[in-house]
Structure 1
Amino acid sequence: MASTPVTTYVAGLAPPLREVAERLVEILDAGLEGRDGVMWHGHPVWMDGKTPVAGFKAYSAYVTLMLWQGQRIDDATGRLAGSGSAQMASTKIATVDDIGEATISGWLQAVDDLPAA
């Protein structure tokens, strides 16, 4: 389960972004078992030791879901866009209906299955 600071971050968001973030916490907790969400550089991130795996950041009109190795996985949906440095990919989510739980769960599994870089 995500840590208290993550819960505080999510609770501070206005609807509908709060609902998006709450659902993402559930999906990330389930898809990244054994890794807790922590606050890292001001937003929730699920870490593998000291290595970030996935996280999200809320903006005024959407929440950006980030996968640090997202450019290394196949994305048949075309929703993931390369962003930031290294191999990060992200997607913007404005409402709970935009989430696509099965898709995100598949991405998390694919990232988990990657050989070490």
Structure 2
Amino acid sequence: MIALEIQAYNNKQTTVDQKICEILATTISSELVEAESKIWHAHPVWFLNGNPIVGYSKQKTGLRLMFWSGASFEDEKLNVIGAKFKDASVFYTKIEEVNINDLKRWLKKSKEIQWDYKNIVKRKGKLERLL
């Protein structure tokens, strides 16, 4: 089930982006049933034990789906931008670009491979891998 605040975020998007948001939110919520979801830093994010796992946001180049630990997934379809953090993203501009099999594979990896963003401030910016 999609949280009301996430549904409200989705409803504010263009018609095309609403469809992309809907499929992302529905798939993420069904695959990460144990996750808490909320609007965090102005966009939808799912957390496992307080650690951010996946989220999406509207950007100039399209709808960005980001996995906080995605760089460690070693998946060529995910773009790794920086070296300091372990995030990786994919951008969508059309509903047809969303590959459910890829999304489910990444969500499975997001449960298995996590970096501890929850305690990054306490560790003065140093990330540690969670087991």
Greater relative contact order structure (CA < 8 Å, 6+ sep): 1
Query: What is the percentage of aligned positions where both structures have the same residue?
Result: 21
Structure 1: which 4+ aligned runs deviate by more than 4 Å? none
Q: Distance in 2 between matches of 1:49 and 1:115?
A: 11
1:54-101 deviations in whole A, cap 9, x for unaligned?
Answer: 0000135521000000011131xx221113551000000111100001
CA drift at 1:16: 0.4
Q: Distance in 2 between matches of 1:41 and 1:8?
A: 15
Instruction: Classify the secondary structure of the residue corresponding to 1:22.
Output: helix
Instruction: Classify the secondary structure of the residue corresponding to 1:6.
Output: helix
Q: Distance in 2 between matches of 1:112 and 1:58?
A: 24
Q: TM-score, normalised by structure 2?
A: 0.81
Q: How many residues align?
A: 115
Q: Distance in 1 between matches of 2:113 and 2:36?
A: 19
Could you tell me whether the CA contact under 8 Å between 1:2 and 1:36 is conserved in 2?
no
Distance 1:101 1:52, change over 3 A: same
Instruction: Classify the secondary structure of the residue corresponding to 2:15.
Output: coil
- Which residue is equivalent to 1:80? 78
Q: Distance in 2 between matches of 1:21 and 1:38?
A: 14
CA RMSD of aligned residues (A): 1.6
Could you tell me whether the CA contact under 8 Å between 2:43 and 2:57 is conserved in 1?
yes
**Which stretches in structure 1 are left out of the alignment for 5+ residues?**
none
Could you tell me whether the CA contact under 8 Å between 1:53 and 1:67 is conserved in 2?
yes
Could you tell me whether the CA contact under 8 Å between 2:53 and 2:114 is conserved in 1?
no
Q: Distance in 2 between matches of 1:60 and 1:3?
A: 25
- Which residue is equivalent to 2:102? 103
Could you tell me whether the CA contact under 8 Å between 1:70 and 1:87 is conserved in 2?
yes
Q: TM-score, normalised by structure 1?
A: 0.90
Matched, 1:26 2:26: yes
1:31-54 deviations in whole A, cap 9, x for unaligned?
Answer: 212113210000000011321000
Distance 1:60 1:81, change over 3 A: closer
Instruction: Classify the secondary structure of the residue corresponding to 2:55.
Output: strand
